[in-house]
Amino acid sequence: MNSTPKPSAIRNRLLPAVLLVVLCLASGCLEFEEQTVTYAYDAKTDTLRIFQNYHGIFGVDQPDRLSSDEQDQLKSVLDTQRTFFFANWIFEFHREQLEKTLSQIQTAEGRKEFGAAPESYPKLEALLRLLLDNVRVENGACYFDSKRRLSAVQRVTVSRASKLVAALNDWLPYLLRAEAAKEDTSAALRAVYEKAASQGRPLVSLRGNEVTLRWPLPREEYDKEFGAQTDGGKSLELFRQRGGRASFADNEMIVSLGSPSEAITSLTLPMSKKSYVPNALEAVKQRATVLEKFDAPAAARAFLKVVR
């Protein structure tokens, strides 16, 4: 599943840092008009539960049906553990892809092709193993929402969440150094990446339901990618309007959602600039039942184990 417009170079570099996931950049991708992510963190069990709700699922290649590429992607989503986190910022957890990456970096030839610094592989392998061992994606109901759009839900369970965050923070300095070493990295960006990598300060934090990403970025790059009139800036402003927080200071971008005291956090954002059409309905009906009615908020509360 994907959305337009595509990420810019800077944002594309930010994306792998958050969850080590794969962007869907190929043609023939399913899209959805909106996505609601609802989550709750249980500190006692160190478990993060995420309820994904995709509203208005459709294909963009043909007006009346899914293309073969889109059908392949639908099959992949229904048959494997694959979930998406917000478009342009779509983070995709794809179990099969992570398994392939883990296998690749365990051989000398695979590591050469992968291209990371040799000293980074133990940290990367530890992170990949934690992801594979502790993230579970379960497909839920397909249904028609109140606007009669084809919609669907997924349940994502992240065990040992604090361990995963710690492993991610252990690996991120190597990612920053790798990005700093690239020929196309500007001198200003290289300087802030190298400084952040040497500080050893966590870039991702989870405090109760508050999730925060701190990312080094020169002022000129921030203005270019996230200024008020840019696509990135408009996305950040909408994120703020819907309850998120985003700021910039001292060559660092800080993005947060939720608060330590919240029992449940939810965010709904538009995902596609294209209008929904019911061209995915028949393909989905061939593989799953589409419910006429489904109480997604109640299902979310039940999964998150929050009663109100």
Cα 206 from Cα 222, distance rounded (Å): 24
Amino acid letter, 194: E
Greater pLDDT, 80 or 68: 68
The pLDDT, as a whole number, for residue 308 is 41
Which of 7-16, 76-85, 106-115, 210-219 is predicted least confidently?
Answer: 7-16
Cα 120 from Cα 172, distance rounded (Å): 9
The pLDDT, as a whole number, for residue 213 is 92
Give 235-279 pLDDT, tens digit per residue.
899 999 999 999 999 999 999 999 999 999 999 988 888 899 999
**Mean pLDDT score of the chain:** 86
Q: In the numeric block, which tokens belong to residue 119?
A: 């000293």
Give the residue-averaged pLDDT of 64-83: 84
The pLDDT, as a whole number, for residue 83 is 74
Give 38-60 pLDDT, tens digit per residue.
999 999 999 999 999 999 999 98
Burial class (CB in 10 A: 0-12, 13-18, 19+), 247: exposed
Burial class (CB in 10 A: 0-12, 13-18, 19+), 109: exposed
**pLDDT band, residue 76 (cuts 50/70/90):** confident
Q: In the numeric block, which tokens belong to residue 115?
A: 């291209």
Residue 16 confidence (pLDDT) above 70: no
**pLDDT band, residue 92 (cuts 50/70/90):** low
On whether the CB atoms of residues 212 and 254 are closer than 8 A, the answer is: yes
Rounded to an integer, what is the distance from CA 154 to the centroid of its chain?
A: 14
Percent of the chain past pLDDT 70, that is, above it, reads: 87
The pLDDT, as a whole number, for residue 211 is 94
The pLDDT, as a whole number, for residue 6 is 42
Q: Where are the domains of the chain?
A: 9-171+263-304
Q: In the numeric block, which tokens belong to residue 70?
A: 């889109």
